[in-house]
Amino acid sequence: MIEMKDVWKTYNNGIKAINGIDIKIGKSEFVYIVGPSGAGKSTFMRMMYREEVPTSGTIIINGKDVGKMKNKHVPKLRREIGVVFQDFKLLPKLTVYENVAFALEVIEESKASTRKRVMEVLSLVNLKNKARFLPDELSGGEQQRVSIARAIVNNPSILLTDEPTGNLDPETAWGIMDLLDQINNRGTTVIMATHNKDIVNTFRKRVIAIDGGLVTRDEARGEYGYEN
Ligand code: ADP
Ligand code: ADP
């Protein structure tokens, strides 16, 4: 469902972030993306949801060439791909409920069905009782769960997470991993860029290592493989 063929990315400032990547990621896989800072992990992820366009090569997501896709088709792609960031990126003046509802792209759906779907995902992330809270009234782990709820509210087939546990203490981080695992078990492909060695080495999944803009390792049940 995700395929990169000879993908290169040079930024306008001349930095060569991705230097010829070929990769396939199947439906319902759980994949860690590891590698040192500046290796190209974020660029690799950003190209999948068309936040960046590859300089050359092809990226196919669910049968569509996202590099060549017209801008008007990008919103539809974004409904197929949920994104979660290290710093949550919640809207501070909106409640938990509103943050999630805001992301729900309903086409001619009733208020009742919007409410049903929002409460369904809030219940999945175990935050139904905090629907009326503002983000700054929540702990970091709770805020990350809101951002995960927001990312999956449109039922995306792919969930991209860039350092989702980076700002969380170890125990809270494990709670987030349980949640990502549950989402993965429901059939969503999960791709997680991370520096969390403990999580990668304990909760074994496919590991793709990126270094210098290249895939240097791709193992079915891999290890983190770096000191930190
Ligand atoms: P990682 O996520 O592994 O830290 P990045 O993809 O963020 O790596 O960065 C790869 C390289 O591309 C780095 O040298 C970084 O400075 C550069 N880079 C990232 N984003 C941009 C950008 N928007 N413009 C220019 N250079 C960038
Ligand atoms: P991360 O550490 O999560 O990969 P960064 O802190 O590297 O993120 O990047 C934050 C933002 O700054 C990104 O949107 C990225 O596009 C941009 N950026 C990163 N490196 C550069 C760079 N060398 N030149 C311009 N923009 C950059």
91 ligand 1 Cβ < 6 A: no
Q: How confident is the model at residue 111 (pLDDT cuts 50, 70, 90)?
A: confident
Amino acid identity for residue 164 in this structure: P
Q: Any idea where the domains of the chain sit in the sequence?
A: 2-219
Q: Whose CA is nearest to atom 20 of ligand 1?
A: 43
Cα 12 to chain centroid, rounded: 25
18 ligand 1 Cβ < 6 A: no
Q: In the structure encoding, which two tokens stand for residue 95, read together?
A: 């409640």
| Sign of the CA dihedral with 79 first, then 82, 85, and 88 last | positive
Phi and psi torsions of 142, nearest 5° = -70, -40
Q: Which residues pair with 65 in a beta bridge?
A: 60
Phi and psi torsions of 141, nearest 5° = -65, -40
User: Which of 195, 204, 203, 210 is CA-nearest to residue 222?
Assistant: 204
Q: How confident is the model at residue 227 (pLDDT cuts 50, 70, 90)?
A: confident
Alpha-carbon gap, residue 116 to 5, rounded angstroms: 40
Burial of 140 (0-12, 13-18, 19+ CB in 10 A): middle
Alpha-carbon gap, residue 8 to 144, rounded angstroms: 31
**What pLDDT shows up at residue 106?**
65
Nearest bound ligand to the CA of residue 40: 1
User: End-to-end alpha-carbon separation of the chain, Å?
Assistant: 31
Q: State mean pLDDT over 52-64.
A: 97
Ligand 2 centre to CA of 51 (Å) is 12
pLDDT in tens, 42-52: 999 999 999 99
CATH fold for domain 2-219 = Rossmann fold (3.40.50)
**What pLDDT shows up at residue 60?**
98
Asked if residue 107 has pLDDT above 70, the reply is no
Asked if residue 105 has pLDDT above 80, the reply is no
> 95 to each of 87, 101, 167, 176, how far by Cα in Å?
17, 10, 21, 21
Q: State mean pLDDT over 145-156.
A: 96
3-state DSSP call for residue 40? coil
194 ligand 2 Cβ < 6 A: no
Nearest bound ligand to the CA of residue 164: 2
